Chains A and B, each alone.
Chain A
Amino acid sequence: MPKKSPPITEAWRGITFTRRALVVGGAQAAVGVALAARMAYISVVDNDRYVLESESNRVNLTLIPPRRGWIVDRNGKALTNNRVSLRIDIIPDRLHDRKLVLGQLQTLLRLDGDAMERINRDLKAASGFQPVAVKEDMTEAEYSSILVRLPELPGIAPQRGFARNYPTGAAVGHLIGYVGAPNAEEYEKAKDPLYITPGYKIGKDGLEKYFQEMLKGEPGARRVEVTARGKVVRDLSTQADVQGKTVHLTIDADLQEYVARRMGRESGAAVVIDCHNGDILAFVSMPSFDPNSFSDGISTSEYAWLRADDHQPLINKATRGLYPPGSTLKPMAAIAAVGHGVDPSERHTCIGGYRLGNRFFRCLGTHGSLDMPSAIMKSCNSYFYWLAHRLGYDAMAPTARLLGLGEEYQLAGSNQRYGTIPDSAWKMKKYDQQWSASDSLNAVIGQGYVSVNPLQLAVMTARIASGRRLYPRLINREFKNEPLPFSAEALAAARHGMDLVVNGPGGTAGRSRLPLDGITMAGKTGTAQVRGLNTGNGRAGTWKFRDHGLFVGFAPVDNPRYATAVVIEHGMGGSRAAAPVAKDFMTFLFDREKAMEALATLEAGWGGTIKERMDRDYAAWKSGTASDPEPGVPQ
């Protein structure tokens, strides 16, 4: 506040005006200089940063998921390959009118509430240019209905991608496994942007998972110039993807499919091994799941259906199923006995059972006087009780292990439960109890503590047939396969007994002779009780309490080439359930037409191929759960 101000005159006013106008002008000039400096700062000092941001605006880099490598069988036939899949994604950053676009998509693609919920959830979680999948595997009609409306749907990115295809579906489910979109944990671990690219799948189970590194390939990349609304102006450059490598398996795709189909409506597993080198030719566990469903992202209801099935289609019974092997272990016991000085021609008389102290162990028949091969042929329990009592099971367990029982193999992509071959040391360790003679008697007929998986049974058979320590393999992996330390006499006794089982007079699998000229199959049936011995009748009644049917075999008898093991859960006996299955697929290996005829007749009775039956069962189950609060079990 000026105390002494000069008198206010027009002259003073003029001077004040000039002074103040110059102040205002000076201030304006200062602002102008500041603006120039600011602009220089942005465009010179920060230039690099903004050039980068402008480029990242202009250029959109999308990863092209690589085509996955094929998995082929021994003849180069595809067990899994890729098929073209049309898909639609949303680029969240480009989605300006979310409601409108989603509404349009819902109408055009007929998306249900579940799908819309998932898309909304994914959109919330996604950021920036990370695409969100709307729909995969669209029909050409759906795809083109989106394409023509693309200008009205900013943020939508249609893509022509690839999806995993399993031509034989459920037949290879447990063998190959399946692929699926990586989950959050897998992405955290891999830290690979490819993992969050829609359409990219990784192996989730089985061989798909085991060979992931080989199969995955190298992603391609596409650089495009885009407008702010996501419209592609032009392609800048494209780098093609590199397809993953092909994995060659020892599997015979045709046999694999045949075996799977021949299993019919039964629950079980079958393995076929090449006796020359241990190649696994077929590796089947049924019922199975369709890996195509899993790879496309299985629906909750289909998954619930698979889980509800008491035939357990989600479990690979060939390596994860443990069964008492029953009489299929008798040839092994014979080899062990000969190794411990028992003469195969020595006879024992079956009186319908065997007396051990005050207990009487029953035989299934009264077989009279038997030598070793005929005891195998008739599957006489008394004879083997007698051997076991005489030698003790500690004398037999090492032979069982030499034949591959109780062993976990180095097998690609498998998750094995390797079961138990008991002996006195094992029992002491596990139960702190002495091994008893009755334990030996139970073990020798493949009951009691003994448990094996079907793959082990097939390996055992291949080793008996070849006399060498074969290891099962799915890829070309070198094992030594050295000869087993068994005498020729021992192996001959076992093989002769197995020959008689199928081809001898009154053999337990006599009905399963191969319908071929000059080619015969040797084998051994087994029936494993599910309930305790001597309790109830395993031949009828509730499915779950019926006996398991087992069969091991090899063919041709004189020059073994193929060894197999079949387990039919609750099949009520090896000769009834398992041996006929083996007969048919062994026939297939030598005469496909004849085997296919047999299968056609059977499938007509079962109600179609695996896929037809599965589709029908699933539909029935779905309609059943819709009306019935207690989910019904198919079959």
Chain B
Amino acid sequence: MIPIPPAIQRIPWKLIAILSGIAGFGLLVLYSAAGGNWSPWALQQGARFLIFLSMALVIGRFPLRIFEDFTYIAYIGVLVLLFAVELLGFVGGGSQRWLNLGFMNLQPSELMKVAIVVALARFYAQLPPGNTRTFTALWPAMVMIGLPAALVMLQPDLGTALSICVGGVVVMFVAGLPFWWFGSTAVAGLAALPVLFSFLHDYQQKRVLIFLDPESDPLGAGYHISQSKIAIGSGGIGGKGFLNGSQSHLDYLPEGHTDFIFATMAEEWGLIGGLALLFGFFLLLRWSTRVALKARTRFGQLAAAGLTMTIFFYIAINLMMVMGLAPVVGIPLPLFSYGGSSMLTIMTCVGIILAIENDSKTGTRRFH
């Protein structure tokens, strides 16, 4: 047997294979969505994937300690950016979600999805075990989630706000906070739904209503969902064949390369393609869940579990949306949809989880 150099052994080949498989499939779909063309989407997306993958691998090599030390600073920094965006929007006279950094548009709310998870993981890692069931375990977390969620809601961006909340709440949940807190909050939340609904913007309310009855407005906002279902449904088991999707190629499917890319894919690849993609995501999430379970430190455990949820939330909401199970919220399909912001977030998540995995290989488990 040829001895494999440790440097090569240390590279997470399996993870790279999973990520490349998903992203590569996405590139094929983007190629088709552009009418059989590498431009304008597939080529750019491919380059972006390579850059972000390298970035994730580099992040994965950082000692976990660094993340623990800098989480609060990162969280506060992102929170400041969110304020800045809100202020800029206020000054500019309109809602704005990003900051123009010259070379790219930075969307702080995307960064917050990661920052909230690691910050809460840090908070609960430091919390003495005896305090787990006290109010001390609750209120700082509530403030840390509530502030950015409120700011993002103001933008208004319901999908991202939900994503931030879900990431944070899952960290609280796995941190061992009393079960009945979550149960009663869920019940109270359900009861308060009508009130919350009234806080939504008109267009958001409309989307929810149309989600409940898409046929009520087949040409307006319900159009997205109807056309998406038509695309998926008409694909059948084997699909219409590569480059043969009429829904996407004839522009019936809106946003066929971004939020609704799953429908574009399903039309041409059918149920088989859909299950293959779901399997790819399953492998990715299984890996990150395993990392969480095997993590050496409590911070690693909580962070990995929370980031897994963040990735999962993207996938689940997007797929529910394209299949008509959730209202239209602008959440892309991770690694698959064309776009930089979401890929940056996902790859950051992957990088941190990778760092946790590497950390768990370096020493004995310690929980504090």
Contact = CB atoms under 8 A, between A and B. Distances in A.
Interface string A36-51: 1011101110110111
Contact of B251 (A13, A17, A93, A227): A227
24 contacts: A1-B178, A8-B133, A12-B176, A13-B129, A17-B175, A21-B293, A21-B305, A24-B170, A28-B308, A39-B275, A39-B278, A40-B271, A43-B270, A44-B237, A49-B233, A53-B234, A54-B231, A57-B247, A57-B250, A57-B252, A58-B247, A58-B250, A225-B250, A226-B250
Contacts of A43: 232-233, 235-237, 266, 270-271, 274
Interface in B191-242: 219, 227, 229-237
A135 B356 CA distance: 71
A13 B132 CA distance: 9
Given A8-B132, A13-B367, A38-B325, A228 B236 contact: no
Given A38-B325, A39-B266, A18 B316 contact: no
B113 interface: no
A600 interface: no
Given A42-B229, A44-B236, A229-B251, 8 more contacts: A17-B301, A17-B302, A22-B293, A43-B266, A50-B232, A53-B233, A57-B247, A57-B252
Contacts of A54: 230-231, 233-234, 246-247, 252, 267
A24 B233 contact: no
A30 to B, nearest CB: 11
Q: Interface on chain B toward A: helix, strand, loop, or mixed SS? A: helix
A50 B270 contact: no
Contacts of B293: 18, 21-22
Interface in B310-331: 312, 316, 319-320, 323-325
B174 interface: yes
Contacts of B302: 17
Contacts of B305: 17, 21, 24
B123 interface: no
Contacts of B251: 227-229
Interface string B105-117: 0000000000000
Interface in A78-109: 93
B244 to A, nearest CB: 11
A225 B246 CA distance: 9
Interface residues of B, number: 55
A615 interface: no
A51 B180 contact: no
A341 interface: no
A1, A12, A25, A226: most-surrounded residue (chain B CB, <10 A)? A25
Contacts of B129: 8-10, 12-13
Pick the 10 closest A-B CB pairs, nearest first: A50-B233, A54-B234, A228-B251, A16-B176, A58-B246, A50-B234, A227-B250, A42-B233, A20-B174, A228-B252
A42 B323 contact: yes
A635 interface: no
Contacts of A44: 236-237, 271
A619 interface: no
Nearest to A8: B129
Nearest to B234: A54
